[in-house]
């Protein structure tokens, strides 16, 4: 039986799955179109909070994938909504797209000088992270603010080697602030819960398709949905065999889902 027949809804990872470093994976757009023609529901999910859902939907359309902003769930948006529950003022360490998500979730943004008045601190990757941001977040946390972050990834593979990831920035904030963050992106449950709510398919008929063993596959297992590893990103078949949890299916590429 083809893998796609086991599921009615799919969470589709973007980087390493639909595109790799900006280049579309050959056959990805055709495979996604054929899933939709067969009545499957799709939501695109990413731990990258540097682009908004609207920007990512635009990038998907550029490579031939039909997508509206409502079809894309970023860890930034998921984290912003979680941070906004019962809170009013946020100090944000992150890219402009994350700051917009936090405002759209209903929180007021605190400037660094007013960070001690924030009731939540939200952390994600941005290359301008510096000591003054760390100082502002530290003041907020010691004044009682809660702490949320998109993920805990230590580093990012880049063409010239590894760059520090969100987890590296978060480690500094947690250490100075004396508080541990609630993580809302993959592999934690918040992103999966919001994605399942958007798909409306039952967990046992839903699967995540992604290239990350620790983010996509582990998160899928935690959310009790199916998991499909694609080998167009970082993971190899040998690593998939050794992984815990192991993916339910391993495909060379998302194109094989057609
Ligand atoms: Mg990926």
- Residue 156: what pLDDT? 83
Distance of CA 212 from the midpoint of ligand 1 (Å): 5
The last residue of one of the domains, among 183, 202, 218, is 183
List CB-based neighbours of ion ligand 1 within 5 Å: 13, 15-16, 211-212
Domain count, the chain: 2
pTM over 0.85: yes
Q: Give me the helices (H) in the chain, please.
A: 28-37, 53-62, 75-84, 96-104, 131-142, 166-177, 189-199, 218-222, 237-242
Q: Are residues 209 and 166 in the same domain?
A: no
Residue 15 known to be catalytic: yes
What does the mean pLDDT of the chain come to? 96
* Structural domain contains residue 56: no
CA 233 to ligand 1 centroid distance, Å: 7
User: Residue 101: what pLDDT?
Assistant: 95
Rounded to the nearest angstrom, the distance between the alpha carbon of 112 and the centre of ligand 1 is: 32
Do 107 and 177 lie in one domain? The reply is yes
pLDDT score, position 255: 98
pLDDT per residue over 174-200, tens digit each? 999 999 999 999 999 999 999 999 999
CA of 204 to the centre of ligand 1 (A): 22
Residue 161 has pLDDT above 90, yes or no: no
- Identify the domain containing residue 166 by its residue range: 79-183
In the numeric block, which tokens belong to residue 240? 């998939």
Distance 181 CA to ligand 1 centre (A): 22
Q: How many helices (H) and strands (E) does the chain have?
A: 9, 15
Catalytic residue among 8, 13, 119, 211: 13
Domain holding 95: CATH number?
Answer: 3.40.50.1000
Say what the pLDDT of residue 22 is. Answer: 79
CB-count burial class (<10 Å; 0-12, 13-18, 19+) for 130: exposed
Q: Which of 5, 8, 15, 248 is flagged as catalytic?
A: 15
Q: How confident is the model at residue 202 (pLDDT cuts 50, 70, 90)?
A: very high
What is the whole-number distance in angstroms between the Cα of residue 174 and the centre of ligand 1? 25
């Amino acid at each position: 039986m083809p893998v796609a027949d086991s599921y009615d809804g799919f969470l589709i990872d973007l980087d390493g799955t639909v595109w790799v470093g900006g280049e579309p994976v050959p056959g990805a757009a055709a495979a996604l179109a054929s899933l939709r023609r067969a009545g499957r529901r799709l939501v695109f999910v990413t731990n990258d909070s540097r682009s908004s859902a609207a920007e990512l939907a635009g990038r998907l359309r550029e490579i031939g994938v039909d997508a509206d902003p409502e079809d894309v769930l970023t860890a930034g948006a998921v984290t912003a909504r979680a941070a906004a529950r019962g809170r009013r003022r946020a100090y944000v360490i992150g890219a402009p797209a994350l700051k917009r998500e936090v405002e759209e979730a209903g929180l007021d943004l605190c400037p660094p000088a007013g960070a001690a008045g924030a009731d939540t601190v939200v952390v994600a990757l941005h290359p301008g992270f510096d000591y003054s941001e760390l100082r502002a977040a530290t003041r907020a946390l010691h004044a009682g603010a809660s702490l949320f972050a998109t993920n805990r990834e230590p580093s990012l593979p880049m063409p010239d080697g590894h760059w520090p990831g969100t987890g590296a920035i978060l480690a500094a904030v947690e250490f100075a602030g004396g508080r541990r963050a609630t993580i809302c992106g993959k592999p934690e449950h918040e992103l999966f819960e919001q994605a399942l709510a958007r798909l409306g398919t039952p967990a046992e008929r839903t699967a995540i398709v992604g290239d990350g063993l620790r983010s996509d596959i582990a998160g899928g297992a935690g959310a009790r949905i199916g998991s499909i590893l694609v080998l167009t990103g970082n993971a190899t078949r040998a690593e998939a065999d050794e992984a815990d949890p192991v993916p339910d299916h391993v495909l060379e590429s998302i194109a094989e889902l057609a």
